[in-house]
Structure formats: structure tokens, C-alpha cells
């Protein structure tokens, strides 16, 4: 069994595994920057669906150094415009012209 360090008090805003047990504690606290960033309720739903890292399960490897929530937010920031453009091209947008 691997001894795991406790939560880091320096990152109260994020409860991802990388902040709680990994090397992400020395990175700046997460701040929402984009409209596509996850809300706290969305993060609570997604957080438990992420796989447990091998190093935390005792299978070896290095502790993660990047916040899981920030990585998912970045994926959403990159993908959101692509999805919206597909919806607009297909003519199936139901926002009544609000999306541009």
C-alpha cells in the first residue's frame, strides 16, 4: 500500500486528485476564465467518473502535476466552438438567434 499525503490547504478551490494527493498543489488555484468552464455542480458529477490514477492505486507511476478540472475545462473550451459551428451549419440550433 502507498502512503498518500493529505489534502493541501493551499488549494481550497479544487478537490481533484492531482490537487489533493498529487503535485498540482504548487500550481495556482483554479479560476473560471471562460463561459464553457464547468460549474461546481458539473464538476461534482464528473469528478467521480474519472479513473483513479495508477500511482494512487499502488500500481506505480508519478503523481500527476496538473489539475484535472483545468484539463477538462480546456477540452471544453477547445470543443465548444466546434460543436456550436456544427449545430449552426446543420440548422438545428434552437437558441432563436442568441448564439450568433
pLDDT in tens, 34-77: 777 888 888 888 888 888 888 888 888 888 888 888 888 887 77
* pTM tops 0.85, yes or no: no
Q: Residue 65 — φ and ψ, nearest 5°?
A: -115, 0
Structure confidence at residue 92 as a pLDDT band (50, 70, 90):
low
| Separation between Cα atoms, residue 34 and residue 72, nearest integer Å | 12
pLDDT value of residue 7: 40
| Separation between Cα atoms, residue 100 and residue 95, nearest integer Å | 9
Amino acid at each position: 500500500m502507498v502512503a498518500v499525503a493529505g489534502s493541501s490547504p493551499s488549494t481550497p478551490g479544487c478537490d481533484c486528485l492531482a490537487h489533493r494527493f498529487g503535485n498540482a498543489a504548487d500550481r495556482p488555484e483554479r479560476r473560471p476564465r471562460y463561459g464553457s468552464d464547468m460549474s461546481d455542480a458539473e464538476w461534482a458529477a464528473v469528478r467521480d467518473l474519472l479513473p483513479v490514477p495508477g500511482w494512487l492505486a499502488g500500481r506505480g507511476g508519478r503523481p500527476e502535476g496538473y489539475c484535472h478540472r483545468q484539463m477538462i475545462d480546456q477540452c471544453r473550451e477547445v470543443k465548444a466552438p466546434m460543436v456550436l459551428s456544427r449545430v449552426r451549419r446543420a440548422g438545428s440550433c434552437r437558441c432563436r438567434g442568441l448564439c450568433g
